[in-house]
Every structure is written in structure tokens, then in C-alpha cells.
Amino acid sequence: MRRFLRPGHDPARERLKRDLFQFNKTVEHGFPHQPSALGYSPSLRILAIGTRSGAVKLYGAPGVEFMGLHHENNAVVQIHFLPGQCQLVTLLDDNSLHLWSLKVKGGASELQEDESFTLRGPPGAAPSATQITVLLPHSSRELLYLGTESGSVFVVQLPAFRSLEDRTISSDTVLQRLPEEARQRRVFEMVEALQEHPRDPNQILIGYSRGLIVIWDLHGSRVLCHFLSSQQLENVCWQRDGRLIVSCHSDGSYCQWPVSGDSQQPEPLHSCVPYGPFPCKAITKIFWLTTRQGSTFAIFQGGMPRASYGDRHCISVVHDGQQTAFDFTSRIIDFTVLVEADAAAFDDPYALVVLAEEELVVIDLQTPGWPPVQPPYLASLHCSAITCSHHVSNIPLKLWERIIAAGSRQNTHFSTMEWPIDGGTSLAPAPPQRDLLLTGHEDGTVRFWDASGVCLRLLYKLSTVRVFLTDTDPSGSLNAQGEDEWPPLRKVGSFDPYSDDPRLGIQKIFLCKYSGYLAVAGTAGQVLVLELNDEEAEHAVEQVEADLLQDQEGYRWKGHERLCARPGPVHFEPGFQPFVLVQCQPPAVVTSLALHSEWRLVAFGTSHGFGLFDHQQRRQVFVKCTLHPSDQLALEGPLSRVKSLKKSLRQSFRRIRRSRVSSRKRRPAGPPGEAWPDPRQGQEGSTRAERTGLQNMELAPVQRKIEARSAEDSFTGFVRTLYFADTYLRDSSRHCPSLWAGTNGGTVYAFALRVPPAERRMDELVRAEQAKEIQLMHRAPVVGILVLDGHSVPLPEPLEVAHDLSKSPDMQGSHQLLVVSEEQFKVFTLPKVSARLKLKLTALEGSRVRRVSAARFGSCRAEDYGEHHLAVLTNLGDVQVVSLPLLKPQVRYSCIRREDVSGIASCVFTKYGQGFYLISPSEFERFSLSTKWLVEPRCLVDSAEPKNHGRPRNGSGPETALSRARNSGSQSDGEERRSGPVMEHALLNDERVLKEIQSTLEGARGSSGDWHSQRVAVAYSLSNGGGRGSGHCCPVRGAPGEG
């Protein structure tokens, strides 16, 4: 009966838990999903991006970042900074205006919404009368001019948003002040452009959609001059000296109009259709910029020939006889040009900033050829859809430098200009260690990201396409174009959603940070082993086939074919180069992967079985078929997953019948392991509890009985996890290398390995023999396996002890095996494999384990104290910490919305209590469970700070800013950051976001069946234990559910 008693409250342990555990969502990595507006402050040098979910994100120097969210969750249509102030105004698609301010609190800046306002018309007026089309913040910093669909311009006083009705510039007022000949035509309709005179704040330009442009005198309330075009007006640019106006139109033309004191309508100085004479699309925005050399820059969006290039997304730059049409792979949202400060006599543009739907592109206008600038943040994570993730903590400096060196050779096409958007100051400390986040993609690439701080920066890109024969030559360029081609298109940006072959998709990644070996596995059963080489090379990739069915009769693969390897030598650039290819047969999705670089072994698993490969001798050690006779569906590929309706109904009725029978068989008390009545059953359960004699005792949380699954319920042979360990497998006197495999049917296989010593490694063969087979009674999928040493500390990673980065594992005391299934945690003693402890998670909460990983949690008070625990994510979106080895729940936090199944499937934990998951196809949310390892952004923006607003100098590129980190505002200890969860909530209100992520993560599940058992393609977890051991572990006593 003692197992039902709740342990007493331990204040000391509670204090210690507060020193170890704290939940924070810290920063979003990647590119904002569905951007809808762009703003830029020349004085603050800060960029603002608005999204369709109502978010506003501000970016400055690397490390300076803020995020705010409108309560309405409406799309942001326009963003405008107030001149010279730390304030901005946003316009939403519900016609509401919002004033935001950057305010300093606690030594750091925060983005706050101050006021909101909706423009109201007179009673009975049509909605178009006040539908805002364009905003103009006046240089006085007190007035906001609002152009509307009705042709009126309203004036609002800031910061209170007080409407000044007496200053309204109505279309009738303008009409009365026009010459007689201009009144004859319908020149009004909506306001398309509002601009202030560059030199005289008393004059504003108003452009109407029908082609009329007027310069309005604010003091005299009169028209100083007007211009009338025969084409529909799209936008207007006023030259810096105020003497020239350039208008762009719907027919793909732009016109230059001279500005003089004469009120007579002048003819345009010049009218041009840049890509005529055939019909062209509209030029929607134009910049006309002066330079000290005399020649101007004309930069405009659109204007392409309608018939041949009407589907292109282009921005053209024309300067000094050179013309280039930058061609983007996604729709252009908006763009701006960075120029010299207002006091300068010339614009002298130095950078073009383009916000496309899927990426941000910055073009260097100083350097000949106008090369792109590599962004230090706002990375396009989804340039090809993300299919899996893998995190590696504490990278050795030598490996780090070699990866950066390989990546720098891939970035020679980038400009050396320093990042031009450099406002604000980062207050975040330098990252304590070097961390890598590896993402696998649908196009067969693996990208290496610097995840040390709050800036996620691309270091290196690995492509596996060269190994295989595909439709596209990897060395060729689809974008190559002759010099004489017209229009002069040039592809820019990295977003490329199209994959040559879906079978190339990466499903599993495993990197050894000490040896430089990398294993990647894909959708068509391909497993590549690569090693890091600092020089380019040309060699053949050795191919080995692994037949996981082992010639079993009656099985026939119905899915996709294997990829054809490229014969003969293949040229590889410096970086990770493959030297062996293991091809699984049938070519199903690889569902698990493990690499042991010290033994030079790689293990791989699919829905049919698993195998072990010796990559030093280039030979297969063994394969094990795990296919169950009922697993016929496991032989169907992702395109032939048609289930028998009769069989589906039969299985459903069987599950219902078993559920009813098991519920009737439940007893109030019994031997250990039988369920105690659920308190949620009400008074009846309470009465039964009283009859057991426990009336006066405080009861621990009770457990429902976990119903056993039958072999027909899911794909039992599906290999979920693989794990290498040097432990006691046969007897307690000798330890040996071993390989453990867990399947979807609750089976754990253990193989004893004989690895020859280093001096005879190439002469003798690696031997393997099955030593154990454990079948969990409830048959739940095994999602994690871990071996604990004599001190109950997870075994160190391969080569970690050899590099003096971890204590040697305790091989004197008895080892323990931890098996984590979807429904419970269970500890076995080794080598006898007798059950010692268990925690029934599903029985307690009805939740299932989706991700689990060992992590070391350091104390925020005592520098040398830390504990090893399990970080757990459930299907309800909760993250929990469970103690080792006693399996006592420590803390529990709500992290991901339970509806966001794709975010849960994409989650990956780190070795120090942090995690990442996708909140949209292009964004990772970063969170932390640790008080010590908290990558928290902090920054400061001060409008009064003296700074040089000139162009950035050419230097070493974005690397110069690595020591600075990103920020989203101040945060006190223990306070959960508001913007992260709110942003996630806004994104997840959009069903399209969820479906897009889910389709990416599930698209290549291959030969897997049950929905719950298929979510293994994102990130391996629980690999070779956690960090270093610690002798200071203070486990709690008496966890519920043990026995």
C-alpha cells in the first residue's frame, strides 16, 4: 500500500527545483510567416515587417529584435516610422491605425502598443469614404495624413490620434482650386500617393488613381501646381532636391515631371516604357535617386512584358547604362532603398532591401555587379521544405572552424558589405558555447546553422544530390542567361520550393562532433556516411545493399523505387564528402539512425527492420527483419497507402470491444501493477477506496490500467529508435559494446557486438549476436532507450571521454536500462533485465510521449552543481522533466498547443535543456527548461544616441557582427516572454499554417502506417545519453507510479 502514499513536502527540494528549472520561450528563428508589410527608419536604421497574422517584428543590428502582436490578429497592411522617433504606425486590413513605441524599461527596450484608432466618416457615408489607402507621417512628428478611397485626405494629430476635421483636404476642395480645363475630367477617385516635399514641409504631393498629381500648400490651402497623366497612376517619387517628380503607371511606363512655380500643367520631360513596346504589367513603385557622379538610379517594381514574363516577380535597377531585372522566386511584398541621411545633397543609394513572400533579400548597390548581401538573421529556413532537425551542443573549436571554412567557399557570390541595417545595441552576453542546428530538407540538402545565440545564421550547406542520378545536372545552372538576353533577368534569393525528386528528402541526421563523421538517411532508404574534408576531391562512392526482408516469401514492395547512384568518380567540393552509400531494400523511409564513430559503426532502421554497417571495412555486419505477418501495409509506399475498408472497420470494432471488456474487468484493488480507481469516476470510486482501508491517508495520483495493443493495431515492425552502449549485456563481470533497437510494437532488441581493437580493426570482422529481446506488455511504441552507469548517469557520447570532455562512466556499479515507450517509462537492471521502476504517463494523464531526450540541468546559483534528467514532450504539447533514475516528475509546463500536431512532431531537444519546434513552415520557436542555459535576447534602441548614418563600409561581411545577439525586449527572471506564445497562437489560428507544416513533415513518411506511429521523420532523440556526469545528483524520493 505504500506505493499510494504521497511523499511529504520537501522545501529544500522545491528550492533546488527553482534553481534548476524554469520555462521560457525566448526567440523565434527564421523568416516571418506570410509577411504583408515593410517599413524602415533611416534615423534608427531599423527594419519592420508586418504579417498577415497581425505580428510586427523589428530588426536592427544582429541581436536587435522586437516583436509585437495586434490584439485583433488582422493583417498588417502598412508600416510607417515617425521621423526621428522610436515610434511607428501600423495600418491593419480592418482600417484601424495603431501607434507603437520602443520604450526603455529595466535597461532594455520594449515594443509596446500605445494607441489605436479607426477613422470614422460622417453618418450615412459609404465605407469607402474613410477606407485608408496611404499614410504620410509628417516631419513635424505631430501629424499623420491619411489618403482614402474617396479621394479625401484626412489629418490626425499624434500621439492621441485626434482627428483634425478642419484640415481635411477633400477632393471637392482640390477640384475647386484646379484650373478650369482640369475640372472637365474625372481625375479623382482614390488617393494612391502622399509625399512631403523633400525641402519644404509646408507642401505635400497628392496623387490620384486617375492620373492627377497635385502639389498642395498646407498653409494657403491651395494647389501650387498639378500634373495630369493619361494613364492610371500607381505611385510617385519626389527627387531629393524637389525639382522633379517621377510617376509610374499601370501600362508599365514612368514619367518625369518638372516642378516649377508656374501653376500651368507642364508636359512630362520624359516618358518611358522600359520593357516595351509590347504590353507590359504595371510599375507599382519607383525610386528616382541622385548620386554625386551625376547619373541617377531608377529602381522600380514590375513593368515586365505581360505575355512572356507576366508571371515573374521582378525589381529592376537602371544606372549609368547598366540595367538588371532581379528575379525573385516568390511574390514581392514591398521594397525600399537605403540612402544617405536627409542632410546630404545627394541620395547615393547603397542598398536595396526587398521583402518577398518567402525571404528578405538585400542587394549591394555600391559594388559593381550589384551582388546580394548575406543576411545575419531572417534566414529562409524553408528555402526547401524542412523534413527533419538535429541539434549538436558544444561543438569543438576545430570542427567549428572547418565547417565555417567550407561554408565560406560557398558564399563567394555574396558582397563583402557589412550588414546595412544596424540600428540599436545588443546587450545579450556572448554565447557560452558553440551549438549547431542541422536541418534536413526535401531537396536532399542538409543545412548547418549557428544556433549558439539568438541569431540563427547559415554556416554551411551540404547537398546529397551529386551522389544520385537525377533529372537535373547539379553542376549546371538553371538561371544561366546570355548577356544579350532581354529582359536582363537575374535570379536572386535562396528560396526554391521545388525538389527534383521527392525521394531525395532527408529524414534522419546524426553528426559526431569529435570525429567529423556524419550520417544522413533519406526517403528512399538511402543511408550516406560522410567525413569532413578541407579540400575538394573526386572519388567514387562505394555502394552496399542491405536486404531487410532477407528473402522472406510472400512480401512484395509496392512503393517507390530506389534512387540510382551515379556511377564512377564524383566531384565533391570541400566540406562533408560521402564515401559509402548503404541502400536499404525495400527502399522505404529510414525511420531511425545511430552512428558510433569510435567503433566506426552506423545503424539504420526502417518499417521493415534494422541493420548494422561497418563503415571502416565497408561491410554489412547484420540485418534483422522486424516485419510482423500482419504488417502487409508496411510494404506499401507513401503513394499506395490505400487500406482495406473492411479491415479498418474490423480493427475499429475490435478496439471498441476490448475497451469495453477491459473497463468491466477493472477491480478496486489487487496486486502491484493493477489499476487503482480513477478519482474522476466520482463517488463510486471514492467509496471503493474507503473499503481498502486508506481512508485517512493522502493518496498519490492514481493510474488507469494501460490496455495492451494487439499486433494488428499498428505497424509493429517499424523501428523507432536505435542506441549504442558499452554496458553489461551478457553477465555482470564483463561489459561489451551493444546495439539496442526499439520498435513500434513495444519490442526491444539487444545485440552484443564484438569490435576488434584498433590495431586489428581492419583485419578482423565486427561480430554481432542477439542477446536479449524484451516485449513490453502494453506493446506501445518504443520512442527512447538509454543506459545509465553505476552512478545513474547517462553514458557519455562516443569519444567524449577520450577528449577529456566527460568523466569516465562508472563501470563498477550495476548499470540500468531505461526504456521509454509512448505510454510509460520503465527502468530495468542489467544484465538480468528485470523491471525495477516504472512511471505510467498515459495512465496518469492520458497523454503519450512524443519526444524524449536526456539533458543536464545546471543550477543558476551553484556553478558546479547539476543534475541529469529526462526532457519529455507529450502529444498534448506539454514539456516535462522526469528525474533519473527514480522517474519522478519534477516540473511540467504547457509549451505547444495540442492542436499543433506538426509543431509537436518537429520538436528537438538539446543536451542542456533547451528545445526548438516549428511554429510555421519558416520559423523555429526556441524554448528553455533550464535556469542556467537560457539564450535570452536583450537590446537597447535610443533615438537620441549619436550615430553615423552613412553607408556601411565594405568589410568582412556578416561575420563581423557575430558577437552581437538578437533581442525581443527585456524580461525579468522567471517571467515568461509574452510575444513568443502570442505569436504562436496567432499563427496557429490559421489552418493553412498547420496544414503546410504537417504536409511537409508527413510528406515522406513512406512505408509507415498508424498516424501516431508515423511521426518519426523529424528528429532523433535520446542518443547516447546526456552531458557529463555529476556526483551532485539529489533525486527526490517516492515518485508516484513506481513499482
Are 508 and 388 in contact by the 8 Å Cβ rule? The answer is yes
Q: pLDDT per residue over 667-702, tens digit each?
A: 443 333 333 334 334 444 444 444 433 333 333 444
Respond yes or no on whether the N-terminal peptide bond of residue 831 is cis (omega within 30° of 0). Answer: yes
pLDDT at 863: 85
Instruction: Pick the closest to residue 524 from 608, 587, 469 (CA basis).
Output: 587
Q: pLDDT per residue over 835-887, tens digit each?
A: 999 998 876 677 899 999 999 999 998 888 999 999 999 999 999 999 999 99
Instruction: Pick the closest to residue 1037 from 837, 759, 858, 790 (CA basis).
Output: 837
pLDDT at 812: 83
- Quick count: other Cβ atoms within 10 Å of Cβ 696? 5
pLDDT bin (cut points 50, 70, 90) of residue 778 is confident
pLDDT at 238: 93
Label residue 480 exposed, middle or buried (CB < 10 Å: 0-12, 13-18, 19+).
exposed
Average the pLDDT over each of 295-304, 487-496, 762-771, 921-930 and give the range with the smallest value.
487-496
Average the pLDDT over each of 444-458, 862-876, 983-997 and give the range with the smallest value.
983-997
Task: Compute the distance between CA of residue 585 and CA of residue 562 in angstroms, rounded to an integer.
Answer: 8
Are 416 and 955 in contact by the 8 Å Cβ rule? The answer is yes
The amino acid that residue 312 corresponds to is: R
pLDDT greater than 80 at residue 415: yes
Are 422 and 955 in contact by the 8 Å Cβ rule? The answer is no
Task: Compute the distance between CA of residue 603 and CA of residue 275 in angstroms, rounded to an integer.
Answer: 58
Q: pLDDT per residue over 603-612, tens digit each?
A: 999 999 999 9
Instruction: Pick the closest to residue 893 from 920, 913, 919, 910 (CA basis).
Output: 913
pLDDT at 655: 60
Q: What is the DSSP string of 740-751?
A: EEEETTSEEEEE
Q: pLDDT per residue over 486-542, tens digit each?
A: 889 999 988 887 777 889 999 999 999 999 999 999 999 999 999 999 999 999 999
Task: Compute the distance between CA of residue 351 and CA of residue 346 in angstroms, rounded to an integer.
Answer: 15
Task: Compute the distance between CA of residue 872 and CA of residue 981 in angstroms, rounded to an integer.
Answer: 19
Convert 163-186 into a string of H (helix), E (strand) and C (coil).
ECHHHCECHHHHHHCCCHHHHCCC
Task: Compute the distance between CA of residue 29 and CA of residue 449 in angstroms, rounded to an integer.
Answer: 11
Q: pLDDT per residue over 285-297, tens digit each?
A: 999 999 998 899 9
Compute the average pLDDT of residues 221-247. Answer: 92
Compute the average pLDDT of residues 361-374. Answer: 95
The amino acid that residue 372 corresponds to is: P
Question: What is the DSSP code (8-state) at residue 726?
Answer: E
Rounded to 10 degrees, what is the CA torsion of 10, 12, 13, 18?
A: 130
Order the strands of the 270-272 sheet from edge to edge: 233-238, 244-249, 254-258, 270-272
Task: Compute the distance between CA of residue 479 and CA of residue 563 in angstroms, rounded to an integer.
Answer: 26
pLDDT bin (cut points 50, 70, 90) of residue 994 is low
Task: Compute the distance between CA of residue 636 and CA of residue 2 in angstroms, rounded to an integer.
Answer: 50
pLDDT at 1001: 53
Compute the average pLDDT of residues 449-456. Answer: 92
Ranges of beta strands (E only) in 427-505 are 436-441, 445-450, 457-463, 489-491
Question: What is the DSSP code (8-state) at residue 635?
Answer: G
pLDDT bin (cut points 50, 70, 90) of residue 83 is very high
pLDDT at 955: 57
pLDDT bin (cut points 50, 70, 90) of residue 983 is low
pLDDT at 481: 52
Compute the average pLDDT of residues 304-332. Answer: 93
* Phi and psi, residue 1015, nearest 5°: -85, 65
pLDDT > 90 in the chain, percent: 61
pLDDT at 1037: 33
pLDDT greater than 80 at residue 891: yes
Order the strands of the 878-883 sheet from edge to edge: 849-858, 866-874, 878-883, 889-894
pLDDT bin (cut points 50, 70, 90) of residue 153 is very high
Task: Compute the distance between CA of residue 325 and CA of residue 328 in angstroms, rounded to an integer.
Answer: 10
Q: pLDDT per residue over 567-595, tens digit each?
A: 999 999 999 999 999 999 999 999 999 99
pLDDT greater than 60 at residue 910: yes
Are 387 and 441 in contact by the 8 Å Cβ rule? The answer is yes
pLDDT at 935: 85
pLDDT bin (cut points 50, 70, 90) of residue 8 is low
Task: Compute the distance between CA of residue 882 and CA of residue 659 in angstroms, rounded to an integer.
Answer: 29
pLDDT bin (cut points 50, 70, 90) of residue 1028 is very low
Average the pLDDT over each of 323-327, 656-660, 774-778, 923-927 and give the range with the smallest value.
656-660
pLDDT bin (cut points 50, 70, 90) of residue 129 is confident
Could you tell me which residues are beta bridge partners of residue 302?
283
pLDDT at 773: 94
pLDDT bin (cut points 50, 70, 90) of residue 979 is very low
Compute the average pLDDT of residues 929-956. Answer: 71
3-state secondary structure of 400: helix
Distances (CA, A) of 798 to 150, 487, 808, 820: 71, 56, 11, 22
Compute the average pLDDT of residues 87-94. Answer: 95
pLDDT bin (cut points 50, 70, 90) of residue 770 is very high
Label residue 343 exposed, middle or buried (CB < 10 Å: 0-12, 13-18, 19+).
exposed
pLDDT greater than 50 at residue 44: yes
Are 499 and 444 in contact by the 8 Å Cβ rule? The answer is yes
Are 357 and 333 in contact by the 8 Å Cβ rule? The answer is yes
Dihedral sign, CA of 834, 775, 594, 768? positive
Q: Which three cell numbers stand for residue 617?
A: 571495412
pLDDT greater than 90 at residue 435: yes
Mean pLDDT: which of 615-629, 835-849, 933-947, 999-1013 is highest?
615-629
Compute the average pLDDT of residues 95-105. Answer: 94
pLDDT at 476: 44
pLDDT bin (cut points 50, 70, 90) of residue 921 is very high
Average pLDDT over the chain, rounded to an integer: 83
Task: Compute the distance between CA of residue 931 and CA of residue 913 in angstroms, rounded to an integer.
Answer: 9
Respond yes or no on whether the N-terminal peptide bond of residue 432 is cis (omega within 30° of 0). Answer: no
Instruction: Pick the closest to residue 106 from 981, 936, 962 (CA basis).
Output: 936
3-state secondary structure of 399: helix
Distances (CA, A) of 322 to 280, 337, 437, 856, 1041: 21, 18, 41, 58, 74
pLDDT > 70 in the chain, percent: 79
Compute the average pLDDT of residues 908-921. Answer: 95
Average the pLDDT over each of 208-217, 713-722, 873-882 and give the range with the smallest value.
713-722
